[in-house]
Protein backbone atom coordinates (compact mmCIF):
# COMPACT_ATOMS: atom_id res chain seq x y z
CA UNK A 1 0.00 0.00 0.00
CA UNK A 2 1.37 3.36 -0.96
CA UNK A 3 0.73 6.47 1.09
CA UNK A 4 -0.55 9.45 -0.85
CA UNK A 5 2.27 11.91 -1.37
CA UNK A 6 1.58 15.55 -0.73
CA UNK A 7 3.00 18.32 -2.85
CA UNK A 8 4.44 21.37 -1.15
CA UNK A 9 1.82 23.54 -2.84
CA UNK A 10 -1.14 21.70 -1.29
CA UNK A 11 -2.94 23.97 1.15
CA UNK A 12 -4.86 22.90 4.22
CA UNK A 13 -4.77 19.95 6.53
CA UNK A 14 -5.88 16.40 5.90
CA UNK A 15 -8.27 15.19 8.55
CA UNK A 16 -9.05 11.52 9.17
CA UNK A 17 -12.34 10.90 10.95
CA UNK A 18 -13.20 7.51 12.40
CA UNK A 19 -16.59 7.01 13.95
CA UNK A 20 -19.22 4.33 14.36
CA UNK A 21 -22.79 5.14 15.40
CA UNK A 22 -21.71 8.68 16.30
CA UNK A 23 -20.91 9.30 12.62
CA UNK A 24 -24.33 10.81 11.92
CA UNK A 25 -24.46 12.92 15.07
CA UNK A 26 -24.69 16.70 15.01
CA UNK A 27 -21.83 17.24 17.48
CA UNK A 28 -19.35 15.34 15.31
CA UNK A 29 -20.51 17.09 12.13
CA UNK A 30 -20.09 20.49 13.74
CA UNK A 31 -16.58 19.55 14.88
CA UNK A 32 -15.62 18.31 11.42
CA UNK A 33 -17.05 21.38 9.69
CA UNK A 34 -15.26 23.68 12.13
CA UNK A 35 -11.91 21.92 11.70
CA UNK A 36 -12.17 21.54 7.92
CA UNK A 37 -13.25 25.11 7.28
CA UNK A 38 -10.71 26.68 9.63
CA UNK A 39 -7.76 24.79 8.15
CA UNK A 40 -8.99 24.38 4.57
CA UNK A 41 -9.09 20.67 5.14
CA UNK A 42 -9.64 17.58 3.10
CA UNK A 43 -11.53 14.97 5.10
CA UNK A 44 -11.52 11.17 4.90
CA UNK A 45 -14.37 9.64 6.90
CA UNK A 46 -14.01 5.99 7.90
CA UNK A 47 -17.01 4.02 9.10
CA UNK A 48 -15.91 0.74 10.66
CA UNK A 49 -18.26 -2.20 10.29
CA UNK A 50 -19.75 -2.51 13.77
CA UNK A 51 -18.93 -5.64 15.69
CA UNK A 52 -21.79 -7.47 17.31
CA UNK A 53 -21.89 -9.03 20.74
CA UNK A 54 -22.90 -12.37 19.23
CA UNK A 55 -20.41 -15.14 18.36
CA UNK A 56 -18.59 -14.89 15.00
CA UNK A 57 -20.57 -17.70 13.41
CA UNK A 58 -23.85 -15.80 13.96
CA UNK A 59 -22.61 -12.38 12.86
CA UNK A 60 -24.64 -10.70 10.11
CA UNK A 61 -21.63 -9.27 8.26
CA UNK A 62 -23.67 -8.21 5.21
CA UNK A 63 -26.16 -6.35 7.38
CA UNK A 64 -23.37 -4.74 9.42
CA UNK A 65 -21.63 -3.59 6.23
CA UNK A 66 -24.87 -2.17 4.79
CA UNK A 67 -25.46 -0.30 8.04
CA UNK A 68 -21.91 1.16 7.93
CA UNK A 69 -22.42 2.16 4.28
CA UNK A 70 -25.69 3.92 5.16
CA UNK A 71 -24.07 5.84 8.05
CA UNK A 72 -21.16 6.80 5.84
CA UNK A 73 -23.39 7.96 2.99
CA UNK A 74 -25.55 10.10 5.29
CA UNK A 75 -22.48 11.65 6.88
CA UNK A 76 -20.80 12.44 3.55
CA UNK A 77 -24.01 13.94 2.15
CA UNK A 78 -24.26 16.26 5.16
CA UNK A 79 -20.62 17.28 5.06
CA UNK A 80 -20.60 17.95 1.33
CA UNK A 81 -23.82 19.95 1.60
CA UNK A 82 -22.00 22.10 4.18
CA UNK A 83 -19.12 22.68 1.75
CA UNK A 84 -16.64 20.23 3.29
CA UNK A 85 -14.25 18.47 0.90
CA UNK A 86 -15.00 14.94 2.14
CA UNK A 87 -14.76 11.38 0.93
CA UNK A 88 -15.20 8.13 2.79
CA UNK A 89 -14.61 4.44 3.08
CA UNK A 90 -15.77 1.46 5.10
CA UNK A 91 -13.24 0.30 7.66
CA UNK A 92 -12.28 -2.78 9.63
CA UNK A 93 -14.42 -3.52 12.69
CA UNK A 94 -11.34 -2.98 14.89
CA UNK A 95 -11.02 0.82 15.08
CA UNK A 96 -7.23 0.70 15.45
CA UNK A 97 -6.94 -1.47 12.34
CA UNK A 98 -9.35 0.84 10.50
CA UNK A 99 -7.12 3.79 11.38
CA UNK A 100 -3.96 1.96 10.31
CA UNK A 101 -5.55 0.96 7.01
CA UNK A 102 -6.74 4.51 6.33
CA UNK A 103 -3.34 6.01 7.16
CA UNK A 104 -1.81 3.65 4.61
CA UNK A 105 -3.85 5.42 1.93
CA UNK A 106 -4.39 8.92 3.32
CA UNK A 107 -1.56 10.97 4.81
CA UNK A 108 -3.55 12.59 7.64
CA UNK A 109 -2.33 15.60 9.59
CA UNK A 110 -4.86 14.96 12.34
CA UNK A 111 -7.29 12.27 13.43
CA UNK A 112 -10.72 12.73 14.96
CA UNK A 113 -11.98 9.63 16.78
CA UNK A 114 -15.63 9.77 17.82
CA UNK A 115 -17.22 7.21 20.08
CA UNK A 116 -19.94 6.94 22.68
CA UNK A 117 -19.16 7.99 26.27
CA UNK A 118 -17.36 5.50 28.54
CA UNK A 119 -20.04 3.05 29.66
CA UNK A 120 -21.63 2.82 26.18
CA UNK A 121 -18.37 2.53 24.22
CA UNK A 122 -16.97 -0.82 23.14
CA UNK A 123 -13.98 0.99 21.62
CA UNK A 124 -12.78 2.56 24.85
CA UNK A 125 -12.51 -0.87 26.42
CA UNK A 126 -10.06 -1.92 23.70
Tell me the β-bridge partners of 47.
Answer: 90
Asked whether the predicted pLDDT for residue 3 surpasses 60, the reply is no
Per-state percent for the chain, helix, strand, coil, to nearest 5: 45, 20, 35
Instruction: Report the share of the chain in percent with pLDDT over 90.
Output: 47
* Average pLDDT of the segment spanning 92-102: 91
Decide: 32 and 17 in contact? Cβ < 8 Å: yes
Instruction: Report the share of the chain in percent with pLDDT over 70.
Output: 75
User: Smallest Cα–Cα separation from 17: which of 78, 95, 80?
Assistant: 95
Amino acid sequence: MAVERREATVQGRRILVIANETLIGTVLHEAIRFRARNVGGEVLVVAPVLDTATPEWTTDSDGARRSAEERLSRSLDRLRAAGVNARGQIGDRDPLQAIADALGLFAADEIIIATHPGPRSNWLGH
